[in-house]
Amino acid sequence: MSIMVVEVLSEGLIFGADRNITTTFPDGSTAQNYNEAKVLRWPTNDVLFGFVGAARINNMPVEEWLESIRGEFKNIVGLENIANELKERVQRQRMIDECGGSPNPLIIHIGGFEKKGGYWVPYVWHIRNVYNLGKFNYLDFRKEFICNEEIWNYFKDIDLSEIQQVLKVLAKQFNPFWFHQGLDLGTFNVLQTSIKEAFKHLCNNHPNHAVPTTIEEWEKHVRMQVLMYGSYYQAFYQQGGQYVGGGADVLSSKWPS
C-alpha cells in the first residue's frame, strides 16, 4: 500500500511516493518497513519509474528486481516499447509469483519526454492489473495486466505548440496537472486540495512564499503532499495499519529545451 503523486508542469515531470512497504503474515497480522524506494530512474536516467501496490516481484523488492533486468532494456528505444516490454515481464513473473492464488493489485507508471510533431512533450505510460480504482479501495484487479498512455487522453485537443502554456496556466492557479494512485484516494484528494489551497493563500499573502517557477521548487510541494498523507496515517491509525508513511522520495525530469 502507498501513495504516488505524478505532476506534469511546464518545467518538467515529477514522480513522488512514500516509502512504506506493508508485509502481511499468514496469521493476518501486518508490519511496515520504510527501507525501499518506489520512485526510481529506470531503465535510464531520463526515464522515471514509480509504483504502488504489490512490492515483491520474483521474491525481490521491486527496485532489486528492476536492477536485475536493467541491462536487458538498454537497447529498447522509446517509452512505449519500454512500457510494453515491462508489462510482459511483470505479467509473466506475477503469474509465477501468485502460483494460482488471488492477484494482488499493482500499478506502475513510466514517464519521460519524447518528440511529437517536432515538439518535446511528456508521456506517462500506465501498467496495471487494476481495472477500477475507486475513491476508497481497489475495486477490480485481475491477473491480466494492461498498458496504456495516460496524458494524451487529456491533451489530445490541444495544439502541441501550446502544451507548456496550458500547463503554466494550471500551475499559476496552483492546480498543476496530476495523477494520483494509491490507497483511499477520497481522503488523499481532499487533504491534498486543502494543502494546495493553503499554499495558494500563502503565495498571495506572505512575503516569503511565491508560486514555484522551477522544477526543484515544485518538487517540494509534491514532497509535502506525500509527507502530509503519511502524517495522516500516523495520527489516525495504529501500528500495522499505517499503510502510508516512512518519508517521501521525489524525482523529476526537466522538460528538454
pTM: 0.94
Q: What is the pLDDT of residues 30-39, one digit of tens each?
A: 667 778 899 9
Q: How far apart are CA 49 and CA 107, in angstroms?
A: 11
Cβ burial of 65 (10 Å; 0-12, 13-18, 19+) is middle
Q: How far apart are CA 104 and CA 99, in angstroms?
A: 12
Distances (CA, A) of 191 to 59, 131, 184, 242: 34, 25, 11, 17
Residue with cell string 490541444? 158
Average pLDDT, the chain: 92
Domain that holds residue 82: 3-254
> CB neighbours of 120 closer than 8 A, spacing ≥ 6?
113, 114, 255, 256, 257
Q: How far apart are CA 37 and CA 16, in angstroms?
A: 10
Specify the number of domains making up the chain: 1
Q: What is the pLDDT of residues 132-149, one digit of tens each?
A: 888 888 889 999 999 999
Confidence band, pLDDT 50/70/90 cuts, at residue 166:
very high
Q: How far apart are CA 105 and CA 142, in angstroms?
A: 8
Q: What is the pLDDT of residues 95-136, one digit of tens each?
A: 999 998 999 999 999 999 999 999 999 999 999 999 988 888
Q: Kindly report the CATH number assigned to the domain that includes residue 185.
A: 3.60.20.10
